[in-house]
Amino acid sequence: MNAVLLSLAVLFIISLFRIQVVFALLVAAAVGGIAGGLSWATTIETFTTGLADSATIAVSYALLGAFAAGLTETGLPSQLVNGARKLLGRSTQDGSSRRTTIIVLMLLAVAFIASLSQNVVPIHIAFIPILIPPMLVIWNEMRVDRRAVASALTFGLIMPYMLIPAGFGAIFHDIVAKNMTQNGLAVDASMLPQAMWIPALGMFAGLLVAIGVSYRRPRSYTSTAAAAQTNAAAVDERDSSAAQLPGARWRTVAGIASIAAMLATQLATGSMIAGAGAGLGVLLLARLMTRQRAERVFTEGMRSMSYIGFVMMSAAGLAAVLRATGDIDALVQTSVAYVGDSRAIAVILMLLIGLLVTMGIGSSFSTIPLIATVFVPLCMELGFSPLATISLIGTAAALGDAGSPASDSTLGPTAGLNADGQHDHIWDTCVPTFLHYNIPLLIFGFIAAMVL
């Protein structure tokens, strides 16, 4: 059996039984390496080498977590939550129809904010630990199904980079265009929006189904009072420790300045590490916290996001093992052999291969070089237009980003929604996002490839 298929099957089955994701990745890497003909020693060495490839990502996420935690000391998240409370007013006591309307609008706002984090304000998932945990108390009162929130967040973390040529979207578009050109079909990154609007429309349809149909019913969560007390205690501790520190207005100005510094530095250098460091520097220089509290806040923030970085490193290790087996190319070549002259079968197989690869390695960006090598010549042979080929490769890469246990597009939402321990990564984030985004992407990606 193909080592890639066997490894991914093991990963998915273990994950569905609620086994810890890192352990599932380790087992899947071991199974894939041995099944692919690698020795035990080579499998371990390859996995370890793969870990090093994502060390920068892990450090970036840890520093972004520290920045997010430090930003809470400015009071900006609290102001956001208080504003939301005033805006919602008596919505928890209103009729079912009004409650549903308010929740849908709120979830669309979450999706919009997540979209901004990919393109306009490219901080990726760093906003989640700032925005989401403080909102849990309000959502618990309104009995909002967190699977709908996870769907809204994941939509905003994926759809924008597929369609919008800015921020992470510009990176995605450039990778697609570069790899297609290297494999014999010269295209420009400016063609991506025209090629990807149909698949993006499929994701939007999935979002509407998730928040308007699948998860519209109320869902109860426990310990809301305890969560509220915990938040209140954190606020009291911050206020008491800041008695001799700058006032609320200065704290707000410093918070905005730190965000501006983080964004400007990240955009200028292209480094999330440098951006997070600049934001942290502003917060420290503004003296918003005592030295002892600053150390504790930053450490807790790093801990909250470093887990995601560790999972991403483990996923990179798995990806390195799967590439070393050579079975990714074998999977692609075997699938090509079944295509013949049928464009429809070719589209279906290419999309399914993209789904499998991205689900396994957790990165749509890393999937592109793996599939472009074979997909581009095949599409040219079958007579697909450049736009159809772009749509196929872009959609095949994005497929699986939603639903993958190792993707930051699912790990990020879980990190925020599970702040009180009531949100399961696999069943409350991965499964819902897989159903509502991968299935529409398959359908709309097929349509795009056939009509463009």
Percentage with pLDDT > 70 across the chain: 81
Q: Measured in Å, how far apart are the chain's first and last C-alpha atoms?
A: 35
pLDDT in tens, 149-167: 999 999 999 999 899 887 6
Burial of 217 (0-12, 13-18, 19+ CB in 10 A): exposed
Range with the lowest mean pLDDT among 61-65, 81-85, 138-142, 425-429? 81-85
At 77 the pLDDT is: 63
At 281 the pLDDT is: 84
At 244 the pLDDT is: 47
Cα–Cα distance between 449 and 198 in angstroms, integer?
9
Cα–Cα distance between 7 and 2 in angstroms, integer?
9
Check residue 222 and report its DSSP letter. Answer: S
What the block records as the tokens of 76 is 């900006």
Q: Which is it for the CA torsion 221, 404, 411, 125, positive or negative?
A: negative
- List, as one string, the DSSP characters of 152-210: HHHHHHHHHHHH--STHHHHHHHHHHHHHHHTT----GGGHHHHHHHHHHHHHHHHHHI
What the block records as the tokens of 429 is 């984030």
pLDDT in tens, 379-395: 887 889 999 999 999 99
Cα–Cα distance between 452 and 436 in angstroms, integer?
24
Cα–Cα distance between 386 and 190 in angstroms, integer?
12
Is residue 243 very low, low, confident or very high in pLDDT (cuts 50, 70, 90)? Answer: very low
Cα–Cα distance between 291 and 301 in angstroms, integer?
15
Cα–Cα distance between 289 and 283 in angstroms, integer?
9
Is residue 312 very low, low, confident or very high in pLDDT (cuts 50, 70, 90)? Answer: low
Cα–Cα distance between 188 and 208 in angstroms, integer?
32
pTM: 0.74
pLDDT at 227 over 60: no
pLDDT at 173 over 90: no
Cα dihedral 142, 146, 148, 151, rounded to 10, equals 150
pLDDT at 359 over 50: yes
pLDDT at 267 over 80: no
* Helices and strands counted in the chain (H then E): 21, 0
Of residues 80 and 371, more confidence is placed in: 371
Please answer whether residues 211 and 152 qualify as being in contact, where contact means their C-beta atoms are separated by less than 8 angstroms: yes
At 172 the pLDDT is: 83
pLDDT in tens, 363-380: 777 777 767 767 887 788
Find where tokens 């994950």 sit.
15
At 182 the pLDDT is: 77
Cα–Cα distance between 321 and 316 in angstroms, integer?
9
